[in-house]
Amino acid sequence: MNRVYNFSAGPSMLPLPVLEKAASELICYEDSGMSVMEMSHRSPVYDKIIKDAEAALRKLMQIPNHYKVLFLQGGASTQFAAVPLNLMKTGKADYVVTGQFSKKAYKEAQKYGEIRLVASSEDKNNTYIPRLTREDFSADADYVHICFNNTIYGTKWDYIPDTGDIPLVADLSSCILSEPVDVSKFGVIYAGAQKNMAPAGLTVVIVREDLLGNARPDTPAMLDYKLMADNDSMYNTPPCYCIYIAKLVYEWLLDMGGLEAIKAYNEKKCAVLYDYLDSQDYYHAAAEKSARSMMNVTFVTGDEDLDKKFAKEADAQGMKNLKGHRSVGGMRASIYNAMPIEGVEKLVKFMKEFAENNPKA
């Protein structure tokens, strides 16, 4: 078996010990005589899996008791509609656009109410995070929506905006579990699982209890947070196997020492790449320094042909999916929790060789 370093933005690498554990019980889970994929979601065996998953996530993120944890489907993109449907009381909300996903969220919300664009970083191709204070938000907004880590552009909010009493809603798809977050600062946190938690098919929603029960009457049942919470994410069949893998990932993180420990590791890991980027001028880091993501590192050579050659040659050396998103160009190294530091060291070594072998005209 020859596993590569997979720098994909998502679906992305899973921790090897998690895959090994899943493989060892793929065909027969404990003494159930069947695979987790085959068991009823209402069985006592599965009930323990989903409850253990929630307990582990609560412990990892120190989620306060007055927040519900929901295991849902439809990807983070479904939340772009679920958020306005559940949270709008006056029909007004504030959005900050810092990349493609927050823009999609902003556009989707316009179907349901009066949506104000508070700030956007599109003027500089989303290379920075706007500085916002409480005064920037509308007093009558039902919520403020942000995307905390911008997967495509490689930027992350370096602060949590102060929205006063207005609930803050954040898409954490590509940075959840990469470091501790103060959940109590948010009304709703949501994240698709396929970046840093589990295979695609699961979306985790963490919602403050007092925000439940305000869904518009025409909200589809499957998007109604309260209905999902009242049924412990079992209103219908949940993504059973994804939740099981998520549980293994949460337990792996707890074993590693929790989110403080993984943060220290991620800081060290991304510094290998950023320190190198800052030490030379062959490659140029795309994001502004203050806005740099620990999870998605974007950089360019400034020459499209060289960028293409780079991704192709890296691929041949077992470093996969380094081609940047078409809106940024260049390269993107997604280095989620499961990417070992050795992968980033190998990448930097390759970057040095490539720069030497391909001098710019």
Ligand X SMILES: *Cc1c(COP(=O)(O)O)cnc(C)c1O
Site of interaction with ligand X (CB under 6 A): 10, 75-77, 101, 147, 151, 171, 173-174, 192, 195
> What are the tokens at 235?
């209103």
Checking 232-239 for CB contacts under 8 A at 24+ apart, the result is 232/50, 233/50, 233/70, 233/71, 233/72, 234/41, 234/42, 234/50, 237/41, 238/41, 238/50, 238/71, 238/72, 238/73, 239/71, 239/73, 239/201, 239/202
CA–CA gap between residue 308 and residue 321 (Å, rounded): 12
Name the minimum Å distance from CB 172 to ligand X: 7
Shortest reach from residue 270's CB to ligand X, in Å: 17
H or E element at residue 267: helix 258-278
Residue number with CB closer to ligand X (108 or 171)? 171
CB of 50 to ligand X, least distance (A): 20
* Cβ atoms < 10 Å from Cβ of 210: 10
Rounded CA-CA distance 7/238 in Å is 29
- State the nearest-atom distance from the C-beta of 93 to ligand X, in Å: 17
Closest separation in Å from C-beta 77 to ligand X: 3
Strand, coil or helix: what is 170?
strand
Output 61 or 204, the one with its CB closest to ligand X.
204
Name the residue nearer to ligand X (CB basis): 295 or 306: 295
The residue among 75 and 318 lying less far from ligand X, judged by its C-beta, is 75
Sequence-separated (6 or more) residues with CB below 8 Å from residue 183: 61, 62, 63, 64, 67, 189, 206
- Closest approach, Cβ 83 to ligand X, in A, equals 12
Q: Kindly tell me which of 39 and 115 has the beta carbon lying closer to ligand X.
A: 115
Q: Where are the alpha helices (DSSP H) in 88-166?
A: 100-109
Nearer to ligand X, 102 or 301 (CB): 102
Q: Which two tokens stand for residue 356?
A: 């030497």
